[in-house]
Every structure is written in C-alpha cells, then in structure tokens.
Amino acid sequence: MQETEVKFLEIDRPKIARRLMELGARKVFDGDIFSENFDFPDRRITKAGHTLRLRLKREGQKEHGELTFKKRLSKRKAKIADENEFLVRDYGKARRALFSLGLRPVVRVKKHRLSYSLGEAHFEFDKVKGIPLFLEVESESFVELKEYVEKAGLSMREAKPWSLRDVLRHYGRR
C-alpha cells in the first residue's frame, strides 16, 4: 500500500477532534504505542531512506504487535512511502527474530495515540513525553490527503513532510 502523510505541530486537539466528529469521523484507537525502528549496525536501512519498525499497541486490556517496512518514495510536499505492514501475534518472538538477523533498535519511542478515521484518511494525535502534541494525517494519495486536511480546517502551508524521527530532531530529541 502507498502511504502519504504529513504532520502538524503544536495543534489544538479539542478543536480539530470536534471538527472531525462533525464530519462523521470515527474514533478507532485510544491507547499507548511502544515503537522501535530496527537497522543493521552499518545503518543501511536508514541510509537508504527506509524504515523497519516493530511496535506494540495497547488499548485497555487489548494489545497486538505490528511489523512494518516502509520504502520512502518522496519527502517533498508530503512523506510518501510504499508500506508493508502486518500483525504480529507474539511481539517478543518477533523482536527476538529481528535481533537474530543482526538488527538492533536505533529509535525507541513510547507515545499515547488518539486515532480517528474519516473516509480514506487517518488522523493520529500523538503525545510523546517532552514534546508538544502533534497530529499526523495520512491517506493513500496527495490529492486525497490535501482534501482531508482542508476538511479538518488545517492548512497544507503548515504541514510538515516529516517522519517521527524528524519531529524528535526538531524538538532536540534523538
């Protein structure tokens, strides 16, 4: 699947969430995510502009893992990537398998996420300790992304074609 996304920094969540609900959005997740990006010691995945991520998502008593590989295609007006993601039944075993392949965590992040779905777009409000709340808007194409950003009352002029790593760097975190 192709993923097209942008981030908005230091946003007004109540105002945007209210607008999304008025538009008919559904809340689809409200929980914690522990995420690790993996790479080889020579950083060949990162240097190629790709991401290999394992994450554990917890919502109440439910939890599941996801393994994702993203191949970056562009980072001009939006971050565009080919994304392959699948559920992982046993997070611990998946993590051990990555280690056995010689991969190591290069980025570790814990965040609280509140997610809404509106049509083909996803709105992810993320709170990482020590960083102001930010919003990620994701869709399958740039045209569609721009349409949903505007529907939510946001402006593409304020959109950042950034990864989470870029957000962390912006706020002086690595």
pLDDT in tens, 104-126: 999 999 999 999 999 999 999 99
What pTM was estimated for this model as a whole?
Answer: 0.92
Query: Could you tell me if 166 and 160 are in contact, meaning their C-beta atoms sit under 8 angstroms apart?
Result: yes
pLDDT at position 174, please? 59
Could you give the CA distance from residue 111 to residue 108 in angstroms, rounded to a whole number? 10
Say whether 42 sits in a helix, a strand or coil: coil
d(CA 89, CA 94): 8
Nearest to 103 by CA among 44, 163, 174: 44
Q: Cα 97 vs. chain centroid, distance in angstroms?
A: 23
| Full pLDDT tens readout for the chain, 174 residues | 899 999 999 999 999 999 999 999 999 999 999 999 999 999 999 999 999 999 999 999 999 999 999 999 999 999 999 999 999 999 999 999 999 999 999 999 999 999 999 999 999 999 999 999 999 999 999 999 999 999 999 999 999 999 998 999 999 875
pLDDT at 1: 84
Residue 27 CA neighbour count, 13 Å, CB half: 12
Distances (CA, A) of 111 to 32, 52, 70, 83, 126: 6, 18, 20, 21, 6
* Residue 111 per-residue DSSP state: E
pLDDT of residue 143: 95
